[in-house]
Structure 1
Amino acid sequence: MKNIVVLVSGGGTNLQALIDAEKRGEIKNGKITCVIASNFEAYALTRAKENGIATRVIPKKEYPDRGDYSREILKALNEEKADLIVYAGFMIILDETVSSAYPNQIMNVHPALIPSFCGPGYYGLKVHEAALEKGVKLAGATVHFANEICDGGPIILQGAIDVLDDDTPETLQKRVMEQVEWKLLPKAVSLFCEDRIVVEGNKTKILK
């Protein structure tokens, strides 16, 4: 059984999707053992506590240097014996001290079809504002392995939905979350825990 440690910064809707999937038995050979938040106000902490999951808070504001913060997170991950780390609305890019210690063991979900609308500055509603401004006909989300490069790392799963003529950034964000992110992330986590993801260079293969 693999230990899944989830890193959060905000409301924790993706964390909730993982918790719900685990309760339904959809995450095979894995268990969420700890939630680490970057601030005490993150509602994701409440979600974790309500479901009996251990929590830790490592406030980003106490570590102005990215390297110092990354080393503190790494220490916590080691203490929690993490097998898989999931960024679930975690708004901080950790440096290579973490990604080198956990190569292809850190997973992130991005609310766009990478390589579109990704990288520095593309987060939250900004992603969907950019997509609508460009006039794309398909939107979606990408689950990928994370490293020290923003939205870098091999792509694991992608899913798409149609963009509607009357979509706003808010409506598009909601549909991408509900119809893509909340389904893809638990599926990718389960694939990892089942040892069904093979990384070759910057690509992945999913074993049957």
Structure 2
Amino acid sequence: MKKLLTIFIVTISTLIFAQESKESNWILKLNATQLIDVVSYPTLQISAERKINPYFSVNAEIGYQLYDFSKPDTIFLKSKGFKANLEGRVYLFKMLHSRIESKRNEFYVGLQLFYRENEGTNSVDYSPKNDETKLYTDNFGTKRTAKGFNITFGNQISMSKKIILEPYIGLGLMNRKIDNSDIEYDEINDTRNGTGLKSLFQKLNLEESSGNVFNFCFGLRVGYRL
């Protein structure tokens, strides 16, 4: 009886340990920065990271646009969109120091491939070049796609056994394609008005901003070890 009980306890303990080890390889995360992204568009963005071994992992992330900060007077296209990326990571310090156990801070370098697509109604302030005393605001439809890659740098900070914070930055290249509809503003015959961030954000919604550009990103994810 003792032998059977011992075998049973050892078996259950092994299964529990294996399950815990398996679960500790997964981290579910919310991208807090994307909730307030005013540069492109806000999304509710969730990711799952799978640790392949102590040094390598894969992080898959997807987000959907559920709202928009702009409130145009005339709506040509309702706001909707999504963002997706896939990232391979190397936990560099763990590899260099051959550490197997997780520590409080785990620095990583990653290669991220991303794709974004959205549409909505935007506006631009402009004046005709032949009479810059006249001021107009033009509402128009915008459809955008973007794809590219980033080299990412981040730090996975363990706040407890379950909760992590993950600040990150990324540098890379992006190919952006923008199509405008129902637009009266003409890049050749008109001049955009305004200065500062408002003018910059308006330009990012125009077809003239299509093409290959340098990409920079940063953010903060909040995660839970499953």
Tell me the TM-score normalized by structure 1: 0.26
Quick check: which one's strand share is greater?
Answer: 2
Tell me the TM-score normalized by structure 2: 0.25
Quick check: which one's helix share is greater?
Answer: 1
